[in-house]
């Protein structure tokens, strides 16, 4: 009987002894990698490769791996969730014992050992002073005096030179990367604007040309999607992507742009059963000012979407209001967002929660934008109305 196909080993070079892999190993990252851009790039690279394997006989395995990679990305790009995950991962790390290879046997064992017959001095003439098993099995050279092996054993170790060369190569590599990212140091950084088009969060502004893209070609990722979402939203808005939410349940990450525009890297969908076991909560950031906000939801409409998605608004004052959103209707704001009402939130409090309870189709979770309404300026200037 042929062995079962192992996608971790065949596609991602993760051997069975390292399975199931942790999030870092799954994305091909160093343990506890902290650079968000490196994590984002690694996740996109892994997903792009796995998707290229979907046309073969293991389509179901590709979907399973894509969901695992998306879950790892969501966890490692969320500061709070990453902190908790890293703490748990550190607790599971085995304690490594360092054993010295050149440890001297204890004196007690030497006293306990029976006396050995003296070895003729001539038998030791070809051995280096440090002796050891490795030195004993090296045959003496047949040419030249026997002292040549003694001289070779006293040669200076090459490791300091190797380490110095490695350090120099790392410094040179870092300089090359820095120069490539800054355009050689002579050209100021260009704003990529909405260069990624459909996938930028916010619609109209995402289609504008943002200048020359200085990033290296062939990188499968969406650059600066967070900045693009904030730039496309109205001024002073609070912009939250699904990566900022607290999803509960088995949500599936979708990155296909053919169905419509969405914010950030991906959007989430449930299983479409309306079982009510899934929900995603978007919490107002602690530093958000108190005031009246228009709440906008981003979703990708479709014929299989639910017409009665329950959305719970908590303003932080103890009052809650539940609304129903029809996700089969195309969003009217930039073809991506739908305004569901205006609510007064307390400072740094409140939330918007998207549920699946009783939904008659698939529920989509993408992003939520809180747009300030008639907020008075801090120094008595003219107030700005929501566009």
The answer on pLDDT for 222 being more than 50 is no
Q: Which residues, including other chains, have CB under 8 Å from residue 318's CB and lie 6 or more apart?
A: none
pLDDT for res 357: 87
Domains in the chain with CATH codes: 7-90 (no CATH), 229-372 (2.60.120.260)
Peptide bond into 10 cis (omega under 30): no
Provide the pairing of β-strand 291-298 with 309-314: unpaired
What is the dihedral sign for C-alpha 176, 179, 180, 181?
Answer: positive
At residue 135 the predicted structure's pLDDT band, cuts being 50, 70 and 90, is very low
Return the minimum-mean-pLDDT range out of 129-138, 194-203, 215-224, 286-295.
194-203
If you average pLDDT over residues 20-27, what whole number do you get? 92
pLDDT for res 375: 64
pLDDT for res 362: 93
Q: Which is more confident, 156 or 150?
A: 156
Q: How many CB atoms lie under 10 A from the CB of residue 169?
A: 10
pLDDT for res 24: 92
Q: Which is more confident, 110 or 288?
A: 288
How do residues 32-56 score in pLDDT, each as one tens digit?
999 988 998 898 888 888 888 877 7
Provide the pairing of β-strand 367-372 with 309-314: unpaired
Whole-prediction pTM value? 0.46
Strands ordered across the beta sheet of 252-254: 252-254, 267-269, 364-365
pLDDT for res 56: 74
Question: How far, CA to CA in Å, does 40 sit from each of 28, 44, 77, 244?
Answer: 12, 6, 8, 14
Q: Which is more confident, 219 or 145?
A: 145
At residue 184 the predicted structure's pLDDT band, cuts being 50, 70 and 90, is very low
Out of 135-139, 261-265, 345-349, give the one with best mean pLDDT: 345-349
If you average pLDDT over residues 134-157, what whole number do you get? 46
Distance from C-alpha of 181 to C-alpha of 142, rounded to nearest angstrom: 58
pLDDT for res 180: 61
Distance of CA 333 to the CA centre of its chain: 30
If you average pLDDT over residues 255-272, what whole number do you get? 86
The answer on pLDDT for 381 being more than 70 is no
If you average pLDDT over residues 227-252, what whole number do you get? 87
Q: Which is more confident, 369 or 114?
A: 369
At residue 92 the predicted structure's pLDDT band, cuts being 50, 70 and 90, is confident
Tokens of residue 245, six digits:
């939410």
Backbone angles phi, psi at 353, to 5 degrees: -120, 125
Mean predicted lDDT score pLDDT of the chain: 74
pLDDT for res 131: 42
Burial environment of residue 274 by CB neighbours within 10 A (0 to 12, 13 to 18, 19 or more):
buried
Alpha-carbon torsion, ordered 131, 136, 137, 140, to 10 deg: 100
Radius of gyration of the chain (CA): 31
Question: How far, CA to CA in Å, does 280 sit from each of 293, 344, 362, 379?
Answer: 20, 21, 14, 37
If you average pLDDT over residues 185-206, what whole number do you get? 36
């Amino acid at each position: 009987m042929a062995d079962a196909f192992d996608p971790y080993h065949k596609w991602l070079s993760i051997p069975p002894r390292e399975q199931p892999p942790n999030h870092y190993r799954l994305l091909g990252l160093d343990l506890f990698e902290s650079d968000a851009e490196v994590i984002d790039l690694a996740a996109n690279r892994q997903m792009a490769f796995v998707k290229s394997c979907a046309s073969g006989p293991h389509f179901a395995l590709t979907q399973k791996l894509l969901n695992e990679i998306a879950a790892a990305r969501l966890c490692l790009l969320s500061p709070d969730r990453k902190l908790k995950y890293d703490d748990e991962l550190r607790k599971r790390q085995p304690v490594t014992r360092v054993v010295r290879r050149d440890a001297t046997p204890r004196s007690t064992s030497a006293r306990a050992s029976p006396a050995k017959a003296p070895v003729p001095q001539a038998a030791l003439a070809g051995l280096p002073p440090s002796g050891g098993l490795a030195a004993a099995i090296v045959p003496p050279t047949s040419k030249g005096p026997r002292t040549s092996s003694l001289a070779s054993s006293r040669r200076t170790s090459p490791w300091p030179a190797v380490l110095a060369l490695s350090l120099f190569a790392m410094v040179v590599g870092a300089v090359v990367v820095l120069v490539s990212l800054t355009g050689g140091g002579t050209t100021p950084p260009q704003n990529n604007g909405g260069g990624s088009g459909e996938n930028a969060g916010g619609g109209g502004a995402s289609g504008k040309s943002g200048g020359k893209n200085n990033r290296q070609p062939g990188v499968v990722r969406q650059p600066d999607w967070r900045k693009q979402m904030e730039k496309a939203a109205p001024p002073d808005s609070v912009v939250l992507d699904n990566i900022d939410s607290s999803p509960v349940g088995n949500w599936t990450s979708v990155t296909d742009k053919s169905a419509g525009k969405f914010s950030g890297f991906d959007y989430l969908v449930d299983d479409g059963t309306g079982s009510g076991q899934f929900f995603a909560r978007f919490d107002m950031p602690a530093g958000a000012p108190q005031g009246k906000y228009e709440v906008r939801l981003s979703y990708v409409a479709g014929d299989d979407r639910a017409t009665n998605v329950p959305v719970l608004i908590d303003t932080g004052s103890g009052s809650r209001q539940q609304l129903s959103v029809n996700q089969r209707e195309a969003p009217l704001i930039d073809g991506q967002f739908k305004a569901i009402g205006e609510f007064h939130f307390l400072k740094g409090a409140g939330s918007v929660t998207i549920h699946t309870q009783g939904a008659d189709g698939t529920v989509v979770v993408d992003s939520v934008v809180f747009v300030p309404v008639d907020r008075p300026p801090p120094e008595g200037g003219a107030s700005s109305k929501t566009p």
